[in-house]
Structure 1
Amino acid sequence: MARRVRRHDGDAGGSAGLLAAKAALRDEVWAAMRAAKVARFPGAEGRIPNFVGAEAAAERLRGMAQWRRAGTVKSNPDSAQLPVRQRALEDGKVVYMAVPRLTDADPFFLLDPDDLAEPPRRAASIRGAARSARRVAVADLAPVDLVVMGCVAAGADGARLGKGGGFADLEFAVAAGAGLIGRRTVVVTTVHEIQVKPAGAIPTGAHDVPLDFVVTPDRVIACRPDRPAAGIRWDELTEAKIAAIPLLGALRGP
């Protein structure tokens, strides 16, 4: 029996209907992963699920031309994408990894492959980054070539469903607003095949960042979305969300 998990969208803005539809799809994907026994410890529910084959998906991403061209990578901090972060460091790429939940005034870890206190596998974890990386502000980042976003579900049309907190979209919006992410920046995810949904199956809002590529252990799906101009949509943020993230309060001002 699945344990009851806390929803992450309690301080999210947007229509109740859209939030409910997203929550129902998350539950469906988490249950499917649990039933198929493809979710790794500590389980799928309530998180960006780590999955069986994460290393194979990272290797498939590693073989893409877009990966080879990228010198800087921004990645989510979740376990599912740890193999991607590891390979980026092994390949000499600079990795920016968000501090979980953007709780620090300097909300990114800077992982420089030429200046690591630990091997890439350890440095690419959250605990390892806390030891090996320094925390930096948005102003300290360089332009990003490739963005890796964790997903609960990913659509063949590029639609992305996170775990509900909205942090990945906020990270993207902040970096885009600072001119660090542009239309040439490639956006990808690595997921299990069970997490892939047909075009039109994932409900999205205006703030949801679409994916250029969905990478599974077995294939690469080129989505080629029409990505709208990115930026922080203040009207979709609740006061609770702004209060919880120091960076947002600083950007909005008094």
Structure 2
Amino acid sequence: MITKEAVRADFSAAAEGKASGKSAELVRRLEKYREAKRIFVGPTARLQQVRINALTDGKELLVPAPGLKEGFYLLAPYEIPFKHLAYAVGYKGLAQYGRRVAVEELCQGPVGLLVTDCLAVDPGGYFVGDGKGFFDLAVAILAELRGLAPEAEAYGLGEQAQILDQEIERGAWDIRLNGFIAPEGIALSSAGTHVDRRVLWDELEPKRVRKITPLWKLNMQIKDALSQAAENRE
């Protein structure tokens, strides 16, 4: 078993650049992609073409704000001029062409497919990201707020060389990918959905909860519900 720190040391350069057009096209062939009305795609440069394709294919595109501090931005299809798409799906364009989604709205358009990039993935589908854990946290938040479709699947994009032959150490937050997409094809296909994911409150520092808007609002909802339940018992 290899540690995440060792993976990041060996594969740090894998976070740079954009995915090939072939990888982005392979995403389009996924059954979950064709079925989904709304998809979640990470904000990195590697996934830019996937985000552009989603909008041109008539999908609603949900993108996490930087550091998840402002939650999620939603970009609607067919509303952005084609020549502006590359800018619109980047961090700088989100605020101009997208809109922030209130936590109460997430359940109104559940995500059917999640796409992220990664540094490396093991044979079981567990992967190493940039170390900030925003993808795992975003999935947990969406699941808690009923923003994931019951059959939602998660895929990673990268290169064939990023597929390891040994297991990566795992933590309680870690998401298991349903598949890994490289230009050569789709590998490591595995069953399972992510709708049962939950936020692990005991492992979050209070200051981090306060800095991430959807996390803070979700925490307040839970506290309000507990308070109301206590009042009803009295």
Q: Is TM-score (shorter-chain normalized) higher than 0.5? A: yes
Aligned counterpart for 2:74 among listed residues 105, 110, 121: 110
| Cα-to-partner distance string for 1:164-218 (whole Å, 9 max, x where unaligned) | 11111111001001112244101111111222223x5211112111110100011
Tell me, yes or no, if structure 1 residue 123 matches structure 2 residue 88.
yes
TM-score (norm 1): 0.77
| Cα-to-partner distance string for 1:23-68 (whole Å, 9 max, x where unaligned) | 22111112xx4xxxxxxxxxx5xxxx13464322111222233322
Structure 2 vs 1, CA of residues 56 and 50 (structure 1 numbering), >3 Å: closer, same or farther?
A: farther
SS of the aligned residue for 1:122 comes to helix
Aligned counterpart for 1:233 among listed residues 188, 191, 200: 200
Q: CA deviation at 1:241?
A: 2.6
The aligned runs of 1:127-142 (5 Å cut-off) are 127-141=92-106, 142=109
- Judge conservation of contact 1:173–1:230 (CA < 8 Å) in 2: yes
- Judge conservation of contact 1:210–1:225 (CA < 8 Å) in 2: no
CA RMSD between the two structures: 2.3
Which has the larger Rg? 2
In structure 2, C-alpha distance between the alignment counterparts of 1:216 and 1:241, rounded to whole Å: 34
- Judge conservation of contact 2:103–2:217 (CA < 8 Å) in 1: no
Tell me, yes or no, if structure 1 residue 66 matches structure 2 residue 48.
no
SS of the aligned residue for 2:62 comes to strand
- Judge conservation of contact 2:117–2:156 (CA < 8 Å) in 1: yes
Counterpart in the other structure of 1:10? none
Which one is further off, 111-120 or 164-173? 111-120
Larger helix percent: 2
- Judge conservation of contact 1:156–1:214 (CA < 8 Å) in 2: no
Q: CA deviation at 1:240?
A: 3.9
SS of the aligned residue for 1:185 comes to strand
Q: CA deviation at 1:74?
A: 0.8
Counterpart in the other structure of 1:169? 136
In structure 2, C-alpha distance between the alignment counterparts of 1:186 and 1:226, rounded to whole Å: 7
In structure 2, C-alpha distance between the alignment counterparts of 1:121 and 1:188, rounded to whole Å: 22
Q: CA deviation at 1:226?
A: 4.9
| Cα-to-partner distance string for 1:59-92 (whole Å, 9 max, x where unaligned) | 1222233322222101111111111111111111
Tell me, yes or no, if structure 1 residue 23 matches structure 2 residue 23.
no
SS of the aligned residue for 2:151 comes to coil
Q: CA deviation at 1:247?
A: 2.8
Gaps in structure 1 of 5+ consecutive residues = 1-17, 34-43
In structure 1, C-alpha distance between the alignment counterparts of 2:192 and 2:31, rounded to whole Å: 21
In structure 2, C-alpha distance between the alignment counterparts of 1:247 and 1:66, rounded to whole Å: 26
- Judge conservation of contact 1:123–1:129 (CA < 8 Å) in 2: yes
Tell me, yes or no, if structure 1 residue 57 matches structure 2 residue 23.
yes
Counterpart in the other structure of 1:218? 184
- Judge conservation of contact 1:54–1:81 (CA < 8 Å) in 2: no
TM-score (norm 2): 0.83
Gaps in structure 2 of 5+ consecutive residues = 224-234
Q: CA deviation at 1:227?
A: 5.4
What percentage of aligned pairs have identical amino acids?
A: 28
SS of the aligned residue for 1:197 comes to coil
In structure 2, C-alpha distance between the alignment counterparts of 1:226 and 1:185, rounded to whole Å: 9
- Judge conservation of contact 1:70–1:93 (CA < 8 Å) in 2: yes
In structure 2, C-alpha distance between the alignment counterparts of 1:53 and 1:166, rounded to whole Å: 21
In structure 1, C-alpha distance between the alignment counterparts of 2:11 and 2:51, rounded to whole Å: 24
